[in-house]
Structure 1
Amino acid sequence: MAGRRFIVEADGGSRGNPGPAGYGAVVRDGDTGQIIAEDAEFIGHATNNVAEYKGLIAGLKAARKIDPDASVDVRMDSKLVVEQMSGRWKIKHPDMQPLAAEARTILPRGQVKYTWIPRERNKDADRLANEAMDAGKAGRAWEPKARAVPAAPAAPVAEPPLEKAAPKAGWAAPADLGTPTTFVLLRHGETALTPEKRFSGSGGSDPELSEKGRWQAERAAEALVARGSIQAVVSSPMLRTRQTAETVATRLGLEVRYEEGLREVDFGDWEGLTFAEVQERHPEDLSAWLGSAKAKPTGSSESFTTLTHRAGVARDKILARYPGKTVLVVSHVSPIKTLVRLALGAPPDSLYRMELSAASLCAVQYYADGNASLRLLNDTGHLR
């Protein structure tokens, strides 16, 4: 089931710029416009821009706490923050770079869009920022005030036109977006568990590549050397992905960088079992897991919702490190499917409608405006 729709309004202020500063943020229900969460804080001596970024971070965290699957429309009267977070303006100031990086890790990139609004339409966030600065001046922490709750839901908030609509990736994408960052997504080669279709996540035995898996890694390496465009290699730290990535990287003359967020999901008590065995031993848990991205395998601490967040964070870290580059990303079935799903803006249950063979290749391009384009899915031509 798709997540809810939220509107986050955020603002920050500084009395002196720089001077005593604070931020405010509200989360609204996207259908009714009613405020469902608010936050504010006095942050000491800072600039307006730093306070605005702090407000954005607080608003995104508040939305994630309510529903990590929600789609979020961030609305701010800061042209700077909106344009920088949309990828249209570069972030040059060293104080804002880490704040922008933190904001990007809170929710997956495809779930958040940014809209500029005039100051008079951002009154609630501005009010909260001033309340926080007043509290700081008085030497106390901001506390939410009791506010009247309307007897009936507020009228829906009309969607304002985007000041500059984000272009769709694909045929209509303008030519001035620059070189996209390309992820070539490689699933690891076979292990002993793969042909038997046994659950093999990050909570099990961490098997090595089988003889066939090593052969598949070599064939993938040949294909990627022939491709000739790979500029970096990033891999899950699990043994089967390390072995696959190192086989390819050696042929390419590149080093492997490991990213924890690319590891497979933890399947808990299902590790090493076939689907039929799980259905026999844990039928209710399996049914719940197939019905909701928030459900977890028996004995696991991870759902597909959890995976979506960490895979999105891993993606954004790679995008920040290798802008405009072609990066080989070596991972597992679930993280690769999740990255494809996010690129397409598809619902969580689309994961069950994708097939990824061992050592298969996918490719996704990411553009400066935040859009993505799926270029390849489950290519196994190099294994024939």
Structure 2
Amino acid sequence: MREFIVEADGGSRGNPGPAGYGAVVSDAATGETLREAAEYLGVATNNVAEYRGLLAGLRAAHELDPAATVHVRMDSKLVVEQMSGRWKIKHPDMKPLAADAARIFPPGRVTYEWIPRERNKHADRLANEAMDAGARGEQWSASTSTADLDTPAATVAPPDPPGPPGDATAGAARAREALAAGRTPESGSSSPAPSSAPGTTEQPDAGVSAAKADADARAAKAVASPGWAPADMGAPATFVLLRHGETPLTPQKRFSGSGGTDPALSDIGRDQAERAAALLARRGTIQAIVSSPLARTRETAGIVAARLGLDVGVDDGLRETDFGAWEGLTFAEVRERHPDDLNSWLASPDAEPTGGGESFAATATRIAATRDKLVAAYAGRTVLLVTHVTPIKTLVRLALGAPPESLFRMELSAASLSVVAYYADGNASVRLLNDTSHLR
């Protein structure tokens, strides 16, 4: 019985955006390339393009020998896990594609393996050629393929980054006045920052093209080294940061950390979580979910996970700051009861809230350690972190190399989305802050 290796990939320049796939069938014994396939799909998501690449590869293998066994290798963790039966398929666009793929060969004759993107360059290059052909108003053909040449894949210009959040020129006094006006940690704001261009909410994940990852890496590196185009660092670990939905304390602008009561979501908060889940499901890029251990984040994460068909991991490092004796109080109440402690807290990141709460400096140390652990665990993947105001602001601050007082200069609404990508060379790129477009 013959054995084939099918390598497949798909990408979308925008997610959704102009999309294409590539697939390669080779002889498992000799490594000889037997068949190539690629196609421009028009506007589609990354995941649809990945599944279409899988279908093309399996169909090509079946045409070569319907009695063969097939080993599929893809850099899409989502497709590999779903087709292996370990992850549920809930997205309506994915179900028929997965069902079609499962019918091409009898059960048990196809196995799946996840491989790093750098080992899937042949299929990736074909996918990019298909997208390039589509941009020219053409369809890909084998006669124009450069898949056997040692040349880089076509690159995609990165999207324009969103504008800076808030007033970056405001002094500390103005920021603290804003805080005193009611924008306290965990209270959020009703003023969303502008949402980003399509495709920036979740960045390279399962199946997004290496060309897209190349462009993103260059854009991030250029921040530190203008004009320098580094070698391919691979896809970043991308954190999509979801603040939990509203609780009964949120509209009252009360301190709500990890040291007091642990409120559940309100009805409004549950609706916000559903709306966030719907957006993330449409984009189809989240590969894993990790939540703070607190009830409001676990409830938010559970709503999203049910929509995406994923499990929820819990990491204690993502919990909110402990606000000590200030838990449950408004900013005005804290100023009235503990004025000296509050002034110290506003002036220094090392100051603790009254009653032995957690300083922002201690929170930053905890968040940095959690970040490093998760970046290592999810290298090259896109993970949803469901957490709180201070952890999200701290991740953004650390990524920007901004001073501690910048925490007071960011707005972060309930159920908002922010995005930070982390590259292999240690650089980070803030791609989105406080997107609430899904709540409108």
Q: Same fold (TM over 0.5)?
A: yes
Structure 1, unpaired ranges of 5+: 1-165
**What's 1:305 paired with?**
361
- What SS does the corresponding residue of 1:177 show, helix, strand or coil? coil
Corresponding residue for 2:245? 189
Instruction: Give ranges in structure 2 of 5+ residues lacking alignment.
Output: 1-219
Question: How far apart, CA to CA, are the structure 1 residues paired with 2:263 and 2:371?
Answer: 25
Cα distance, 1:301 vs structure 2: 3.7
Contact 1:169–1:372 (CA under 8 A) maintained in structure 2 = no
Q: Do structure 1's residue 215 and structure 2's residue 215 form an aligned pair? A: no
d(CA) in 2 for partners of 1:189, 1:240:
7
Q: Is the 2:416–2:436 Cα contact (8 Å) retained in structure 1?
A: yes
Q: 1:175 & 1:212 partners in 2: Cα distance? A: 46
Q: Are 1:185 and 1:328, in contact at CA under 8 Å, matched by a contact in 2?
A: yes
Aligned-pair identity in percent equals 68
8 Å CA contact 2:350–2:360 kept in 1: the answer is yes
Q: Is the 8 A contact 2:325 2:357 kept in 1?
A: no
Q: Which runs of 4+ in 1 moved over 2 A?
A: 166-175
Looking at structure 2, the residues matched to 251 and 318 of structure 1 have their Cα atoms a distance apart, in angstroms, of 23
The offset of 1:169, in angstroms, is: 4.9
What is aligned with 1:316? 372
CA separation of 1:368/1:220 partners in 2, compared to 1, >3 Å: closer, same or farther? same
Cα distance in structure 1, aligned partners of 2:258 and 2:293: 10
1:163-242 alignment runs, 5 A limit: 167-169=221-223, 172=228, 174-242=230-298
Q: CA deviation at 1:167?
A: 4.4
Distance in 2 (alpha carbons) for counterparts of 1:206 and 1:285: 24
For the pair 1:349 / 2:384, whether they are aligned, the reply is: no
Q: Which residue number corresponds to residue 290 of structure 1?
A: 346
| SS, match of residue 232 in structure 2 | helix
Q: How does 1:1-384 map to 2 (within 5 A)?
A: 167-169=221-223, 172=228, 174-384=230-440
Equivalent-residue separation in structure 2 for 1:173 and 1:341 (angstroms): 25
Partners of 1:255 and 1:247 in 2: CA distance? 11
Q: How many residues align?
A: 219
| Normalised TM-score (structure 1) | 0.56
Q: Are the aligned partners of 2:420 and 2:431 in contact in 1 as well (CA < 8 Å)?
A: yes
Q: 1:173 to 1:254 in 2, by over 3 A?
A: farther
Q: Is the 8 A contact 2:241 2:386 kept in 1?
A: yes
Residue in 1 that maps onto 2:15 = none
Letter matched to residue 263 of structure 2: P
Distance in 2, Cα, partners of 1:224 & 1:235: 16
Shift of 1:182: 0.5
**CA offsets, 1:184-230, max 9 Å, x none?**
00000000000010000001110000000000000000011111110
Report if aligned partners of 1:169, 1:367 keep a CA contact under 8 Å in 2. Answer: no
Give me the whole-angstrom Cα distance separating, in 2, the residues matched to 1:243 and 1:200.
16
